[in-house]
Amino acid sequence: MKDADHPEDAMIFVQEPEATPANRPLRPGWKVMVIDDDAGVHEVTRLALGDFEFDGRGLEFLHAYSAAEGEALLRAHPDTAVALVDVVMEHDSAGLELVRTIREVQGNRMIRLILRTGQPGQAPEREVIRQYDINDYKEKSELSAQKLYSTLLTSLRSWRDLMALDANRAGLQRVIHATGEIFQTRDLGRFVQGVLEQLVALLYLERDAMLIKCDSLALRREGGEVLVVAATGSFVALLGTQAVSSLPPHMLEDVATVLRTRQPLLREGEYWGYFQAQGGNENIIHLNSLQPLSRDDANLIQLFLQNVSIAYENTLLHEEIDGTQRDIVYMLGEAIETRSRETGQHVRRVAEYCHLIARGIGLAEREADTLKIAAPLHDFGKIGIPDAVLHKHGSLDEDEWAVMRQHAGIGHEMLSQSRREILQAAALLAGQHHEKWDGSGYPRGLQGEQIHLYGRIGAVADVFDALGSWRSYKEPWPLEAILDYLRQQRGRHFDPAIVDWVLGNVDAMVSVAKKFPDTPQ
């Protein structure tokens, strides 16, 4: 990355006009709840704090005139920052009981609770603070406008910091989880989403943040496809779309500027970062804060981007290896089908059917994906079958069938030599996709759940496709005839649960056949 050692030297700072009441962004007020049975207290509190402002935000008052009303209102507004609670309302300890309900029943440990009492003798300060989880205790007579202002300011600052810490903790947990999984799922969007949310919390940023990924070709950098791969706040609607054009014009200009200069851009309240992975992929990160960002903030973000680029490279490398592995497996499967003088699309359709069925009956994505990758090798053993049998037109005689059946054992024998997960799955498929639910299949005569689930899925997928495809010895069957056959063989040839799923999802199966059609014979 250019100037990576001194990012502050390369930072572009944009002078912004001073915010005025007309152009200053509106921010929601801090929620402050007044819980008191005296309407006059509500009015006095509102008047005393009418011009209150903290961190660029005013106040949003919520009013409850009894402990019961307060409890209900807090359930509806769990994001209330501060509650000013009267001790004596419906009865002498109504406020104290409400405090216990808020903390122990509602489980709200974040809200700052300030008890106010006009009868301090009934609830001594020391006893109340010791027994109840409150943050301050004030006598109404001593709570002047200035003291109320100071008390509220301190409480709001405390609530803000607690919420930021909690959000940061949650974000960090997502980052740790995503970091651990990125080498399993290779999900860059999920990884960046967690880190993005952590940065937002860490820097007291607004919830509006996003990461933009652009095409790496120079000729398409400014006018090519732009994809949002991670987002928070109001940008979430753009996630996974090319709808970046819906951003405000000044943001589109900033995107173009950052792509052109390949340098971070810092405005008052906005940060645009840039990094380019070694593979040439260009990425932009945008963070929005209504508080000015310092150079230290920007440098921290830039450090994050450098680390993301490393993770990104690892992801791309894995995708390349995974793609190569899939291609090799498909080519091997297609080579076997070509030798059988059958369409190579058979292996692709069987792989898709296997994945579709596996997910449909509840297998995890990883298992279903493993099965999909392994499925093209289900007939791998045909490599050991003589051409005279493999290419014969018409039905095979008894001796020829005995030879043909050997392909299941041959495939299992060859593939099981590897300890790799995918080849182990392929060995199971090759050796068991001709077994039958009632035990009349081959090569081992397994029955019911003795047959591995991969083999049971593969059996249905293979027959469904074989019946609907041209073969050297037959014409393709119509769909209804295939479905009738599945019904007839339910509980005999096939696992009943798998047949039931296929019969209930025929359109999904047919869509696979349409996606990978046979070459006309």
Task: Point out the residues that are catalytic.
Answer: 382
Give me the numbers of helices (H) and strands (E) for the chain, helices first please: 19, 11
State phi, psi for 518 to the nearest 5 degrees: -70, 155
State the residue for tokens 């109320």. Answer: 148
Give the torsion sign (CA, 88, 151, 112, 73): positive
State phi, psi for 427 to the nearest 5 degrees: -65, -40
Which of these, 348, 362, 231, lies nearest to 286 by C-alpha position? Answer: 231
Residue spans of beta strands (DSSP E) within 126-173: 136-139
Amino acid at 388: A
Q: Check: CB of residue 423 under 8 Å from CB of residue 389.
A: no
Q: Could you say which DSSP state residue 247 is in?
A: S
Cα distance between residue 458 and residue 61, in whole Å: 63
- What angle separates helix 421-432 from helix 365-374, to the nearest 10 degrees? 70
Cα distance between residue 430 and residue 377, in whole Å: 7
Which of these, 465, 503, 498, lies nearest to 378 by C-alpha position? Answer: 465
Tell me the residue length of the chain: 521
- What angle separates helix 453-467 from helix 479-488, to the nearest 10 degrees? 140
SS3 content of the chain, % helix, strand, coil (to 5): 55, 10, 35
Per-residue tokens: 5: 């050692």
Which of these, 298, 285, 276, 282, lies nearest to 254 by C-alpha position? Answer: 285
Which of these, 73, 71, 52, lies nearest to 62 by C-alpha position? Answer: 73
Per-residue CA distances from 465 to 15, 122, 389 (Å): 65, 82, 21
Which of these, 430, 192, 467, lies nearest to 308 by C-alpha position? Answer: 192
State the residue for tokens 């960046």. Answer: 192
Per-residue tokens: 153: 């300011």
Tell me the three state secondary structure of residue 238.
helix
Distance between the two ends of the chain, CA-based, in angstroms?
55
State the residue for tokens 């059996």. Answer: 459
- What angle separates helix 496-503 from helix 479-488, to the nearest 10 degrees? 150
Q: Could you say which DSSP state residue 50 is in?
A: T
Cα distance between residue 448 and residue 158, in whole Å: 63
